[in-house]
């Protein structure tokens, strides 16, 4: 059961950003992956709101937040939303692209972040040495043809199944959930609206500046490029901790929600004691 549930659109930086909040206590913000939208956090939104004031939202071009023309930065959108909701300090939890955005935000506004959790994420500006998935070229071909269903299915194979599993080895309901969310993102991407501005200097050049305790979560079946990036960050972040969730790929919160939730809640509880 959700308490203090609110939802709506915030007119920020020229965009109509859809958000939801629930719970009470210290703020905890959830940022979705680039193949998803805020619905990827359904299980976390309910459980975490029993302890925290949880905020989740659709970034530009995802879910119910449409893309718009013009220059913008994802981390400044987050800053504007927090200002709108009068949140001065928060915990940040982001998956994949959402995690990269959380890291950029932490570097741009360090006094606002008290703990950071990055799930299957790479820092902005990072250049991996591991190869891309061999399916990536097929994704690009499907996008060029306007076949968003095919492109979404291929990206589900890349990220949800991972490099070592076949589709029949993964929950069909999870695959369907991600496919539906990702199809919206791919259709919006094809509109080519908006001009995202990178953090300068990039996070890759500034990891030593991150003073917030940082938990790095990965699935052991994720893409090698992600596993490489997480190990690279773990060796350079001043206050890094790691957790690996076996039997999961890029979205461990969907595959093992109970285990994922316990890892996050234990980390935040420990951070509050330190």
Q: Helices 172-190 & 136-144, crossing angle to 10 degrees?
A: 50
Quote the pLDDT of residue 201: 97
pLDDT in the model for residue 271: 93
Instruction: Determine the pLDDT at residue 1.
Output: 77
Q: How far apart are CA 23 and CA 45, in angstroms?
A: 9
Cα 8 to its chain centre, rounded Å, is: 20
**Is the distance from CB of 34 to CB of 122 less than 8 angstroms?**
no
Which residue bears the tokens 């080519």? 192
> What pLDDT is attached to residue 24?
96
Alpha-carbon span 178 to 227, nearest angstrom:
21
pLDDT of residue 273: 87
For residue 176, what are the contacts with CB-CB under 8 A and spacing of at least 6? Answer: none
Do the beta carbons of residue 104 and residue 124 sit within 8 Å?
A: yes
Provide the whole-model pTM: 0.97
DSSP state letters, 127-188: ---SPPPTTHHHHHHHHHTT-HHHHHHHHHIIIII-TT--GGGS-HHHHHHHHHHHHHHHHH
CA distance 201 to 203: 7
Which one, of 274, 265, 272, lies nearest residue 23 by Cα? 265
CB 23 within 8 Å of CB 49: yes
Terminal Cα-to-Cα distance of the chain (whole angstroms): 31
Query: Taking the CA of residue 144 as centre, how many other CA atoms within 13 Å lie in the half-sphere pointing to its CB?
Result: 6
Which residue carries 């994949």 as its tokens? Answer: 96
Which of 147, 149, 174, 150 has its CA nearest to residue 160? 174
Instruction: For the chain, 274 residues long, give each residue's pLDDT as a single digit of tens.
Output: 799 999 999 999 999 999 999 999 999 999 999 999 999 999 999 999 999 999 999 999 999 999 999 999 999 999 999 999 999 999 999 999 999 999 999 999 999 999 999 999 999 999 999 999 999 999 999 999 999 999 999 999 999 999 999 999 999 999 999 999 999 999 999 999 999 999 999 999 999 999 999 999 999 999 999 999 999 999 999 999 999 999 999 999 999 999 999 999 999 999 998 7
Q: What is the pLDDT of residue 274?
A: 79
DSSP state of 62: B
CB 44, CB 191: distance < 8 Å: no
In the three-class reduction of DSSP (H, G, I as helix; E, B as strand; rest coil), residue 7 is classed as: strand
How does DSSP classify residue 132? P
Query: 152: part of which helix (H) or strand (E)?
Result: helix 148-156
Q: What is the pLDDT of residue 90?
A: 98
Q: Kindly report whether the peptide bond that precedes residue 201 is cis, defined as omega within 30 degrees of 0.
A: yes
Name residue 17's beta-bridge partners.
10
Left if phi > 0, otherwise alpha if psi is -120 to 50, otherwise beta: which for 231?
alpha
The residue among 96, 94, 69, 61 whose CA lies nearest residue 183 is 61
Pair type for strands 53-57 and 6-12: unpaired
């Amino acid at each position: 059961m959700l308490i203090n549930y609110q939802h709506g659109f915030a007119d920020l930086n020229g965009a109509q950003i859809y958000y939801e909040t629930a719970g009470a206590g210290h703020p905890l913000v959830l940022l979705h992956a680039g193949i998803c939208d805020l619905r990827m956090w359904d299980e976390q939104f309910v459980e975490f709101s029993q302890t925290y004031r949880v905020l989740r939202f659709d970034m530009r071009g995802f879910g119910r937040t449409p893309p718009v023309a013009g220059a913008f930065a994802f981390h400044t959108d987050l800053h504007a939303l927090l200002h709108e909701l009068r949140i001065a300090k928060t915990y940040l939890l982001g998956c994949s692209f959402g995690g990269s955005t959380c890291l950029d935000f932490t570097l741009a506004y360090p006094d606002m972040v008290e703990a950071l959790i990055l799930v299957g994420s790479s820092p902005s500006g990072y250049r991996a040495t591991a190869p891309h998935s061999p399916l990536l070229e097929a994704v690009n071909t499907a996008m060029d043809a306007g076949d968003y269903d095919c492109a979404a299915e291929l990206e589900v194979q890349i990220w949800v199944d991972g490099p070592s599993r076949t589709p029949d080895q993964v929950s069909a309901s999870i695959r369907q959930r991600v496919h539906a969310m990702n199809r919206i993102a791919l259709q919006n991407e094809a509109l080519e609206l908006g001009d995202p501005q990178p953090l300068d200097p990039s996070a890759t050049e500034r990891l030593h500046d991150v003073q917030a305790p940082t938990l790095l979560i990965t699935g052991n079946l994720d893409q090698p490029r992600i596993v490489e990036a997480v190990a690279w960050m773990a060796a350079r972040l001043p206050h890094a901790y790691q957790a690996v969730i076996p039997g999961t790929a890029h979205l461990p919160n969907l595959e093992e929600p109970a285990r994922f939730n316990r890892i996050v809640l234990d980390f935040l509880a420990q951070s509050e004691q330190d």
